[in-house]
Amino acid sequence: MKLNDLKGKKILILGLRREGRDNFRFLRKIFPGKVLGIGDRNENVKCQMSNVKNVKWHLGKNYLKVLKDYDVIIKSPGIPPKIIAPFITRARQSRAKGTKKQKITSQTEIFFENCPGKIIGITGTKGKSTTASLIYQILKQGGVKAHLVGNIGKPVLSLLFKAKPDDVYIYELSSHQLYNLKKSPQTAILLNIYPEHLDYYKDFKEYAAAKANITLYQNKNDYLIFNPRDKIVSKIAKKSKAKKISIKGKYYSLDKEAAKAVGKILKIPSKVISRAIREFKYLPHRLELVGTFKGITFYNDALATIPEATMGAMEALGDKVETIMLGGFERNIDFTKLAKKVLESKIKNVILFPTTGERIWKNILKLARNRGVPRHFFVDKAMRTSFSSSPSHRYCGAWYMRKAVSLAYQHTKKEKICLLSTASPSFSIFKDYKEKGNLFKKYVKKYGEG
């Protein structure tokens, strides 16, 4: 949506988290005296913006009912489309005849439509943050005026005020940001598509379609860098009009291959690309080496929230993985392939978190069919036995992780690996993957120094 199209429109900012606040700052600078609507389910968000003027607040459980009163709705990515769809339908039906069609847009769409520079968009169920960071490192060392934005970097709208044609924006794009987008970046990177966020979308098909928008509107002068080993990605690539560059490699090497391809497109010298990759420090919680303690090596892969990510970690570390921590928040993902992978590996101990831990173990038993299975430990059951007599005990992430790490030290042999890679999101017992990973590192070091 072009900025001129916002003039004279009643605008609602829907969702006031990181992107929503950036949307407000941007619009307030363009339209200093304009009354802007802000809608959010959380009634306390008003506290984040003190002393603001010319704002109409719509907070609480009925915040979506006001959609009919606005011409342009800038939706934050955290609000699922299926939640607002009925309200949008009713709003359009109830609007007076002769009024202009209501527009649902997003920060990403506004930036794409108005950015004078080049955009390198990266998406994939897993690996996009590392890939974006690595590309940024290569471009910076190559003398390119690069900006890291999107999920991993800064919200983008405020950057438009200083944007120039020679700027390059490395944009990490989630499926939520890509949803309903009608413009694609000049260079698109599509790493993989696995079942995730199924609680957000109607089904997996809708999720995959959102990812496909990264290339759907590219032209013959654009570039698509894609992973041909992923069947869904390959199917999307076949329909793309862009120049196609396929990248090969296993799960944990796709980021390097994609970054190299971008470097070549922008004519960065090979020596600069190699040096940037060599010096790159990988992001925390992504197959992060915690260290070796009491002869056991520990890896923190807390961001592995789907089975494919965990299987990739198992492949990368090989037969030395003897203990693995699995399980977490239930999103109804199929664990059959993961169970098979565990049975085919050298893993001797499986430590299981609720809620999906029990289902993962049932999958392992079902596929074993009288074959030997690893030892298994349900952390919540172990905790109930150990702590039921303690009136001060609270069921929180720290207690779960403390017990899990204790079990790992008890049952993992020296010169072997313990891997935290749960194949599930964290929300059942941890605040997020960062809390899970940090607690893992904390107790690994605490017990390791004892």
Tens digits of per-residue pLDDT, 88-103? 888 777 766 656 678 9
What pLDDT does 415 receive?
97
Say whether both 82 and 168 belong to one domain.
no
Q: For the chain, how many structural domains are there in total?
A: 3
Q: Of the candidates 279, 305, 322, which is a domain's last residue?
A: 279
Between 86-100, 153-167, 232-246, 436-450, the lowest mean confidence (pLDDT) is in 86-100
Task: Judge whether residue 174 has pLDDT over 90.
Answer: yes
Instruction: Say if CB 11 and CB 72 are below 8 A apart.
Output: yes
Condensed to tens digits (0 to 9), the pLDDT of residues 33-54 reads 999 999 999 998 888 787 889 9
Say whether both 174 and 260 belong to one domain.
yes
Condensed to tens digits (0 to 9), the pLDDT of residues 1-25 reads 889 899 999 999 999 988 999 999 9
Condensed to tens digits (0 to 9), the pLDDT of residues 235-260 reads 999 999 999 999 988 888 899 999 99
**Beta-sheet strand order (sheet of 288-293):** 288-293, 296-300, 417-420, 321-326, 349-352, 375-378
- Could you tell me which of 227, 439, 153, 191 has the C-alpha nearest to residue 306? 191
Q: Where are the alpha helices (DSSP H) in 157-230?
A: 175-178, 204-216
What pLDDT does 366 receive?
95
What pLDDT does 390 receive?
42
Biggest CA pair distance of the chain:
75
What pLDDT does 98 receive?
54
Say whether both 355 and 418 belong to one domain.
yes
Q: 104 is written with which tokens?
A: 């649902």
Say whether both 216 and 323 belong to one domain.
no
pLDDT bracket for residue 428 (50, 70, 90): confident
Q: Of the candidates 279, 297, 319, which is a domain's last residue?
A: 279
Say whether both 132 and 69 belong to one domain.
no
Say whether both 99 and 178 belong to one domain.
no
Say whether both 304 and 346 belong to one domain.
yes
Task: Judge whether residue 71 has pLDDT over 70.
Answer: yes
What pLDDT does 252 receive?
82
- For 333-360, what is the mean pLDDT? 96
Name the amino acid, one letter, at 219: N
Task: Judge whether residue 384 has pLDDT over 80.
Answer: no
What pLDDT does 100 receive?
66
Say whether both 297 and 329 belong to one domain.
yes
Range of the domain at 416: 288-448
The CATH number that applies at residue 210 is: 3.40.1190.10
The CATH number that applies at residue 51 is: 3.40.50.720
User: To the nearest whole percent, how much of the chain has pLDDT over 70?
Assistant: 95
What pLDDT does 229 receive?
94
Task: Please tell me which residue, 117 or 98, carries the higher pLDDT value.
Answer: 117
What pLDDT does 271 receive?
97
Say whether both 304 and 273 belong to one domain.
no
Say whether both 98 and 119 belong to one domain.
no
What pLDDT does 441 receive?
98
The CA distance from 194 to 306, in Å, is 8
What pLDDT does 96 receive?
62
User: To the nearest whole percent, how much of the chain has pLDDT over 90?
Assistant: 77
Say whether both 251 and 294 belong to one domain.
no
Instruction: Say if CB 408 and CB 399 are below 8 A apart.
Output: no
Task: Judge whether residue 310 has pLDDT over 90.
Answer: yes
Task: Judge whether residue 300 has pLDDT over 80.
Answer: yes
The CATH number that applies at residue 338 is: 3.90.190.20
Say whether both 389 and 440 belong to one domain.
yes
Q: What is the pTM of this model?
A: 0.88
Dihedral (CA of 421, 425, 429, 431) sign: positive
What pLDDT does 20 receive?
93
What pLDDT does 102 receive?
87
Task: Judge whether residue 190 has pLDDT over 80.
Answer: yes
| Average pLDDT of the chain, as a whole number | 92
Q: Of the candidates 74, 105, 136, which is a domain's last residue?
A: 105
